[in-house]
Structure 1
Amino acid sequence: MEISLKLENDIRVIQPAVDFVYRWAVDCGLSEKEAQEFATAFDELITDIVLFAFEDKGEFFVLLSDSLSQLEITVHELGEPFDPERHRYSIQKVLNENNFDGAGFEVIGNLVDDFIYLYKGRAGKEFRIIKEIKHKHITQILTEKQLSTEPEKAVGYQISPVTEEDAEDIARLIYRSYGYTYPKEDMYYPDRIVNALRQGKKFGVIVRTDRGEAVGYFAVIMSTDSNIGEVGEVVVFPRHRGKGIMKMMMKALIDMAKNKGLLGLFGEAVTVHTISQKVNAKYGFKSTALVLGFFPYAKYKGFEHKQQRISVVIDFLPLKERKQLKIYLPEEYKNILKDIYRNLGIDVENIPVRKSPQLKERSKIELQINYRFGNAVIVVKKYGKDMLDRVAKKLEALYKKDIKGIYIDLPLDHPYVKQAVPQLKKMGFIFSGLMPLFHNERDFLRMQILREKLDFRHINVFSDMAKRIKRFIHREMNKNGIPQKG
């Protein structure tokens, strides 16, 4: 959930805003002490903005967002330029010169888990403060004996929709099946599973033996900005694989998604192996993109694989028929995009552009950073004259933060995409694929920059379309002189 606030640089707004943040933080799962620390950090930040960022009247924007594991506040303002690197707090300056410059930022950094500053040029300044939500790991709830005891052989299986009461059994099933290697860390915390279900962030099914032991789990995570979902959490206990459990769960999930009115489902299938891709293909999912190095290296239990960042294939299952579509296809990628659409059963008409499109001054761009995975997605919601300049500024900031995988999503329903692609290629972006209905029920072209070498021989893809996309990307990298391993 996200909450947006627009505040004036008036000292009278500070206390009500801080009180609201405190109450919000408690409601989202922080203890009263942690919420007070978070609110105090926010107080320090916006007080500095109100008192020092503007010469005259102005306004700034606050975005509150929560996930299952953390709270984040983003503050964006267009006040006077400021470089925090030139105002670092120094205890020596305090003792020797009575100089407290930078003390406010030092206080904020000590009260939160992460404090991030982004200078965005003409787009202003952005501050982010992050506080982790502390939940109990499944290993803190159950004993080693309870965790290591394997489910008995079953005579039969029962499938049912997941409820909050299933959370502990799901976390135990994840731990029993994967140890500590499952990539979605939230799944080891029953309280986070409960919160996700309670907030409608996901829905799923659980399979139990005739003795009531959980041996299968599969869930759809709802997209935050479009009416689609990700088949993103799945586990079948090793001893019970090959019994038709995966088939049973996938069919149930697709039926549930249709009943909920979702427009489509997608999967991010890792290329360490092709098992997930094969399952997706069996149920009608079509490959639309290859996202290089999306996750950091992790050892997958039962698989030996190259120690490099993990790429994913985007597989998409349309749940509502779209037979024809008129969009703008960039010249560089029009043929492969047509093939991807054709594979989805969609006949595409490429709209010609005879003159430069009229653009507003400001673009609408969102930046999604995952520091744990070392990746960032730039989502262009609306093109503007400043788009390329803003993307360049974001790239510069992301490079400084050592973000490894950077991806940009471009809407295909506006003619400017044809002008934007050649310019983005000059910045180092290459093709990734099609992201159907990914934001606001619109189709997007994804391009990518990976700042680590990959050995393409260890990127395993299954479908013919995924193989074509992989070859296309590999050729583009070779043509652009992008270094690779191997």
Structure 2
Amino acid sequence: MSESSFRLVPIDEANAGLVGEVFRAAYGDAFPVKYVYRPEAVLEEIRHNRLAALLAVDEDNRAAGYVSVFKSSPNPRLWEAGNMVVVPAYKQTDVSMLLAAAYTDGTLFAGNASDGLFGEVVCCHYFTQVSGIKAGQVDCALELDQLDGPSFKDNRTGSARVSCVLNFKEYSRPTGPVYLPPVYGDFLSRLAQPLQPRTFAPATAPLPQDGLTRHEDRYYEAAQTWKVAVSEIGADWARFTAKLLAEAKRRGVVSLQLTLNAGCPAIGAAVEELRASGFFFGGLAPRWFGSDGLLMQQVLGVETEYEHIRLYSPTAKELLAFIRADRASVTAGAGN
């Protein structure tokens, strides 16, 4: 069957039931995001502009695949690459190429203003990393030990945990300065170089004397991963981070990730507090808050199996080397 036998169609009330058919064909009823099996729930996500998705159908209007983007960051103009699923009977056709093209050419979110598209690509193999780079994505961060290895369907390394590369494609030009902590400034500016032009400024302001830290978070209990996005740094910063660490240990979190708003002049002082508490560099999170974000992270209770982290791009490899050196520096500074 040739590529011309397939076409992409928007999801509406007439065909929303096909989404569940695609996932059942590929995963049975075991896919963890359950709303995909409920047509009315899929339509609700689309109506509220939290999901943009397309179906691939064959010449007889049978479902052949599904592709989506969704919103998960504090910036409502930022999309995350979602699921790309091919019905097993069509694996040997070109339908996957048609679905992948919907990411790269903007078809998925046509009509929706967007600052960019990001993905979190697993490091237990690198086919998807290769595809992203070829499609113009830029590797910006490395999230260590983010996923539970045994529960991951395609963990070819057998590692206990799976790390992810955060890659990004930017569609609009940012405004306002990006404040660079002195300890990471040079490396962050290099990571941002392939993106749209930015204005950088040194983050030399002290921590605020008043106000509370503002944040939102997502806790993935099954993966033992906790992601916290800090939009505003407050006078309570030291207490906030201490409570966060205590709660992470109580929950049994393995991957604890803080993304700080690089539009805050006090980010340099906040980073030094984090490093004193054992946090180390993760990378750049472009446009996370509209402004860029800086990812800091801790890995709790496990040893990172660096030998199982497979990386494709020179930038991703450089990221890993930088992260390992910063982690060693932070650990030595803490006397651990």
TM-score with structure 1 setting the length: 0.61
Q: Which residue of 2 aligns with 1:444?
A: 293
Q: Which residue of 1 aligns with 2:200?
A: 349
Contact 2:179 2:267 in 1 (8 A): yes
CA distance in 1 between partners of 2:154 and 2:192 (Å): 35
Distance 1:260 1:469, change over 3 A: same
For residue 368 of structure 1, the aligned residue among 205, 215, 218 is 218
Distance 1:327 1:201, change over 3 A: closer
Contact 2:181 2:203 in 1 (8 A): no
CA shift for structure 1 position 187: 3.5
Q: Which residue of 1 aligns with 2:135?
A: 283
For residue 305 of structure 2, the aligned residue among 455, 473, 478 is 455
Structure index of larger Rg: 1
In structure 2, runs of 5+ residues without a counterpart are none
Q: Which residue of 2 aligns with 1:204?
A: 53
Find out whether 1:410 has 2:256 as its counterpart.
Answer: no
Q: Which residue of 1 aligns with 2:326?
A: 476
Deviation track 1:307-343 (CA, whole Å, cap 9, x = no partner) reads 3222211111111134x86322112211221111002
CA shift for structure 1 position 159: 1.4
Aligned-partner residue type, residue 171 of structure 1: G
Alignment of 1:381-396 (within 5 A): 381-396=231-246
CA distance in 1 between partners of 2:155 and 2:211 (Å): 50
CA shift for structure 1 position 358: 4.6
Distance 1:295 1:211, change over 3 A: same
Q: Which residue of 2 aligns with 1:330?
A: 181
- More displaced 10-residue stretch of structure 1: 241-250 or 375-384: 241-250
Distance 1:435 1:300, change over 3 A: same
Distance 1:159 1:258, change over 3 A: closer
Find out whether 1:177 has 2:51 as its counterpart.
Answer: no
Q: Which residue of 1 aligns with 2:162?
A: 310
CA distance in 2 between partners of 1:438 and 1:161 (Å): 27
Aligned-partner residue type, residue 307 of structure 2: R
Distance 1:292 1:303, change over 3 A: closer
In structure 1, runs of 5+ residues without a counterpart are 1-151
Contact 2:25 2:88 in 1 (8 A): no
Contact 2:53 2:68 in 1 (8 A): yes
CA shift for structure 1 position 367: 3.4
For residue 467 of structure 1, the aligned residue among 296, 317, 326 is 317
RMSD: 2.7
Counting aligned pairs with the same residue, the percent is: 22
CA distance in 1 between partners of 2:2 and 2:98 (Å): 18
TM-score with structure 2 setting the length: 0.86
CA distance in 2 between partners of 1:213 and 1:396 (Å): 51
Aligned-partner residue type, residue 338 of structure 1: S
SS in 1 for 2:222: coil
Q: Which residue of 2 aligns with 1:55?
A: none
Aligned-partner residue type, residue 65 of structure 2: G
Contact 1:270 1:313 in 2 (8 A): yes
Deviation track 1:7-31 (CA, whole Å, cap 9, x = no partner) reads xxxxxxxxxxxxxxxxxxxxxxxxx
CA shift for structure 1 position 432: 0.8
Alignment of 1:48-447 (within 5 A): 156-179=5-28, 182=31, 184-223=33-72, 225-226=74-75, 227-241=77-91, 243-253=93-103, 254-301=106-153, 304-322=156-174, 326-351=177-202, 353=204, 356=206, 358-439=208-289, 441-447=290-296
Deviation track 1:269-308 (CA, whole Å, cap 9, x = no partner) reads 1112222222222221111111112222245556533232
Distance 1:337 1:214, change over 3 A: same
Contact 2:215 2:231 in 1 (8 A): yes
Contact 1:154 1:210 in 2 (8 A): no
- More displaced 10-residue stretch of structure 1: 265-274 or 367-376: 367-376
- More displaced 10-residue stretch of structure 1: 224-233 or 360-369: 360-369
CA shift for structure 1 position 156: 1.2
SS in 2 for 1:332: coil
Aligned residues: 328
